[in-house]
Amino acid sequence: MKYRFLFFFLNIVAFSYGQFPKGFVYLRSVVPEVEVDLRYFTSNNFVGTSVDGYKNDCLIVTEQTARALHKVQQELKKRGLGLKVYDGYRPQQAVNHFVRWARVLHDTLRKPDFYPNVKKKDLFKEGYIASHSGHTKGSTIDLTLIDLATKKELDMGSAYDFFGVESWVAYKGLTKVQSKNRMVLQEVMLKYGFRNYAREWWHFTLRGEPFPKTYFDFPIE
């Protein structure tokens, strides 16, 4: 009994120090030079506060996703470009946080920045908030392109996580530069095995993802 209790205790300690299921990695362990701006760890997001489950400023994805992103980064470097990642694996508790927030209709702190033309009561109906997310499976990634020389983000025509038609991949109201930037991102991601989401230019999921039916909930730490 004593030894079984010790084994149980050690398992809890290991989990609390950032262990996660087999098949997951920290992205920077595979792509060290990638830029990370983990928005849900900060208050710079549509909720306006740090989101449940984001306990550290580190980005976790499946091993297959990390390897594919390494190939993307290597090709972009030849063009003087690189990746900046906003989100990868997202625990279910974070998705639950979004759902609770969306139901509090008077909390519109970040509406001018992220959903100026959408009523908060319509976020569910229009598909911007849902009770499940592909991110929770570990192989979906939100990202953009940066200029490697300046580290500045390329102009994509809308901000990350902007709820509106301006974020649709095929949006027609873009300048030539914005349209070209989106096209570069789409082409290189699709080349290395990702599929896009038509309503979010930043959102990609690895084809043949290893956990297609599993919604994980371990914290990011």
**Residue 197: beta bridge partners?**
200
- Please write the tens of the pLDDT for every residue from 55-83: 999 999 999 999 999 999 999 999 999 99
Catalytic residue among 35, 63, 200, 221: 200
Q: Show the tokens assigned to 91.
A: 């625990």
- What is the DSSP secondary structure assignment for residue 92, as one 8-state letter? H
Structure confidence at residue 206 (pLDDT): 98
Distance CA(117)–CA(164), nearest Å, equals: 7
Whole-number percent of the chain with pLDDT over 90: 91
Q: What is the pLDDT of residue 174?
A: 98
200 catalytic per annotation: yes
40 pLDDT more than 90:
yes
Instruction: Give the pLDDT confidence score for residue 12 in this predicted structure.
Output: 32
Reported as a single tens digit per residue, the pLDDT across 16-32 is 345 789 999 999 999 99
Report the pLDDT averaged over residues 91-109: 97
Read off the tokens for 60.
């976790």
Beta strands in 5-99 (DSSP E): 24-26, 35-36, 60-62, 81-87
4 pLDDT band (50/70/90 cuts)?
very low
Task: Give the amino acid at 131.
Answer: S
Give 130's contacts (C-beta < 8 A, 6+ positions apart). Answer: 95, 99, 124
What pLDDT sits at residue 18? 52
Q: Flag whether pLDDT at 139 surpasses 80.
A: yes
What is the mean predicted confidence (pLDDT) over 160-181? 97
Predicted confidence (pLDDT) at residue 130 exceeds the cutoff of 60: yes
CB atoms within 10 A of CB 169: 16
**What average pLDDT score do residues 32-41 get?**
97
Residue 19 has what pLDDT?
75
Name the pTM for this structure: 0.90
